[in-house]
């Protein structure tokens, strides 16, 4: 039987990237002890006030159909949030509520690009981005993100890759998996290219509230000269420790939001009203949960650095935001995938191989910082020991 072309486009861009994580889950189900550092899931539950808001919505009968753009109370809360952030008047009609960042990115890309178009994307990148772009029929053009630049996308690396087919620049700041934050200078330089070549900018900002002390978040949407070509996407999954509620949104120019509406109506026709009530409360003020998580994750990133950087040839890249740290294991002579699978079987520590996030992280590991400090310490001890054995060194 025949299938649609999208099946072929996504044939090697799905769950295979999470093979180590899947193997770890199997081992846990079999009763094996595994320290799971392979997935980025908040280490606390949603705040009681948010759960109460969702329950109150259910109790009030907020269980019916919504609409393609989203519930009015949530759209108003999003408009207020982004008006305050940008210093411009953002209308509720410029906001669209969708179930989670992943769905939001899919709908946005479907609205902005299609077959024959090219999308500029940083390498490394979050594991699903290539699939999101490929689903539209557009082509991914990888922009190398270099460790010597802190894994921040540089305009000098983007410019030579722009062609007449280039349609969109896909940014992720703060970045997953590297924890890098684009500076205002980075964004202005990238934005100048977008203006020069009439490109859309899509900015995934789901980690906006998980900035570590001393770092500063800047969005292209906040810069007046880029506002009419920028769409931002985010959700409460990370910032409010609520991934299971699948509540996200995008904000952009009115022209974009109007074009997105029939796409959103065709896909889902609205998110759940009781979850919209919860989300409206969540976005109405900075997240205390995010601030606390950022403090813990920053501390744990420091712990990983102290325990692994320079140990048995390992090199740690310390993040500026988010819930991950990177470890370069190239000195072992193993690929990230070989190291991760061997580490899991030998030491019971599950990490993500860098190759799951692109060629730019070949020979790296991504470690989640979402387990308690003692487990981080134990995991680091085991990683160092495995690296020593891989090189024939004394641990």
Angle formed by the axes of helices 254-267 and 100-112, nearest 10°: 110
- Last residue in a domain, options 236, 252, 283: 283
pLDDT at 393: 67
DSSP strand E in the chain: where?
A: 35-36, 95-98, 118-123, 139-144, 166-172, 200-204, 230-235, 248-251, 315-317, 324-328, 349-350, 352-353, 364-368
pLDDT at 18: 84
Across 82-93, average pLDDT: 98
The rounded distance, in Å, linking the Cα atoms of 126 and 250 is 18
Residues in the chain: 395
* Apex 189 CA angle, 327 and 101, nearest 5: 55
DSSP, collapsed to helix, strand or coil, labels residue 383 as: helix
Q: How high does pLDDT run on average in the chain? A: 95
Residue 39 pLDDT grade (very low, low, confident, very high; cuts 50, 70, 90): confident
Number of domains comprising the chain: 2
- Last residue in a domain, options 259, 283, 307: 283
Please indicate, yes or no, whether residues 350 and 321 belong to a single structural domain of this protein.
yes
CATH number of the domain bearing residue 201? 3.40.640.10
Across 79-88, average pLDDT: 98
**CA-closest candidate to residue 208, choices 244, 232, 192, 242:** 232
pLDDT more than 70, % of the chain:
99
Please indicate, yes or no, whether residues 233 and 187 belong to a single structural domain of this protein.
yes
DSSP, collapsed to helix, strand or coil, labels residue 321 as: strand
pLDDT at 319: 97
Please indicate, yes or no, whether residues 344 and 306 belong to a single structural domain of this protein.
yes
- Last residue in a domain, options 264, 283, 302: 283
Across 56-80, average pLDDT: 96
pLDDT at 62: 97
CA distances from 112 to 184, 279, 311, 371 (A): 25, 26, 46, 38
pLDDT at 12: 80
- 192-208: buried (b, 16+ CB within 10 Å) or exposed (e) per residue? ebbeeeebbbbbbbbbb
pLDDT at 391: 86
Please indicate, yes or no, whether residues 172 and 58 belong to a single structural domain of this protein.
yes
Please indicate, yes or no, whether residues 233 and 269 belong to a single structural domain of this protein.
yes
Tell me the DSSP string of 170-235: EEESS-TTT-----HHHHHHHHHHHHHTT-EEEEE-TTTT-BPTT-----GGGSGGGGGGEEEEEE
Within 119-164, residue ranges assigned H as helices are 129-136, 155-158
Is-contact 248 98, C-beta < 8 A?
A: yes
Which residue range forms the structural domain that includes residue 123? 48-283
Please indicate, yes or no, whether residues 99 and 234 belong to a single structural domain of this protein.
yes
Residue whose token pair is 């007449």: 164
The rounded distance, in Å, linking the Cα atoms of 372 and 28 is 18
Q: Which two tokens stand for residue 98?
A: 């969708």
Please indicate, yes or no, whether residues 167 and 234 belong to a single structural domain of this protein.
yes
Please indicate, yes or no, whether residues 210 and 86 belong to a single structural domain of this protein.
yes
307-349 per-position pLDDT tens digit: 999 999 999 999 999 999 999 999 999 999 999 999 999 999 9
Q: Which phi and psi angles does 312 have, rounded to 5°?
A: 55, 40
CA 181 and chain centroid, separation: 12
Please indicate, yes or no, whether residues 195 and 227 belong to a single structural domain of this protein.
yes
Please indicate, yes or no, whether residues 296 and 225 belong to a single structural domain of this protein.
no
Please indicate, yes or no, whether residues 38 and 53 belong to a single structural domain of this protein.
no
CATH number of the domain bearing residue 379? 3.90.1150.10
The pTM assigned to this predicted structure is 0.95
Q: Which two tokens stand for residue 56?
A: 């109150």
pLDDT at 40: 83
Please indicate, yes or no, whether residues 250 and 149 belong to a single structural domain of this protein.
yes
- 313-324: buried (b, 16+ CB within 10 Å) or exposed (e) per residue? bbbbbebbbbbb
């Amino acid at each position: 039987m025949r299938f649609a072309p999208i099946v072929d486009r996504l044939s090697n861009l799905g769950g295979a990237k999470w093979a180590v994580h899947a193997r770890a889950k199997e081992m846990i189900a079999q009763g094996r002890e595994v320290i799971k550092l392979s997935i980025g899931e908040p280490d606390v539950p949603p705040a009681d006030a948010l759960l109460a808001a969702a329950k109150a919505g259910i109790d009030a009968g907020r269980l019916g159909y919504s609409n393609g753009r989203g519930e009015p109370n949530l759209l108003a809360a999003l408009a207020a949030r982004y008006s305050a952030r940008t210093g411009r008047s953002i209308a509720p009609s410029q906001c669209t509520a969708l179930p989670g960042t992943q769905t939001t990115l899919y709908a946005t890309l479907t609205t902005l690009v299609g077959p024959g178009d090219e999308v500029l994307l940083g390498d490394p990148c979050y594991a699903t981005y290539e699939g999101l772009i490929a689903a539209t029929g557009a082509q991914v053009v990888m922009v190398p993100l270099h460790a010597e630049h802190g894994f921040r996308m540089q305009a000098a690396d983007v410019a030579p890759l722009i062609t007449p087919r280039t349609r969109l620049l896909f940014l992720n700041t703060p970045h997953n998996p590297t924890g890098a934050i684009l500076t205002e200078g980075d964004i202005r330089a990238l934005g100048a290219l977008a203006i020069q070549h009439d490109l859309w900018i899509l900015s995934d900002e789901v980690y906006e509230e998980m900035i570590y002390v001393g770092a500063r978040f800047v969005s292209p949407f906040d810069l007046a000269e880029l506002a009419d070509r920028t769409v931002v996407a985010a959700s409460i999954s990370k910032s409010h420790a609520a991934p299971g509620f699948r509540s996200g949104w995008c904000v952009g120019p009115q022209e974009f939001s109007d074009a997105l509406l029939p796409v959103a109506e065709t896909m889902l026709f609205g998110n759940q009203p009781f979850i919209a009530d919860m989300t409206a409360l969540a976005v109405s003020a900075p997240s205390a949960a995010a601030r606390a998580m950022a403090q813990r994750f920053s501390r744990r990133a420091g712990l990983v650095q102290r325990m692994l950087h320079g140990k048995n040839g390992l090199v740690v890249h310390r993040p500026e935001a988010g819930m991950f740290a990177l470890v370069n294991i190239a000195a072992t002579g193993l690929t990230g995938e070989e190291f991760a699978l061997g580490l899991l079987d030998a030491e019971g520590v599950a990490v993500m191989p860098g190759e799951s996030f692109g060629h730019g992280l070949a020979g790296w590991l991504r470690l989640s910082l979402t387990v308690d400090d003692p487990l981080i310490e134990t995991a680091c001890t085991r990683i160092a020991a495995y690296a020593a054995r891989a090189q024939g060194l004394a641990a």
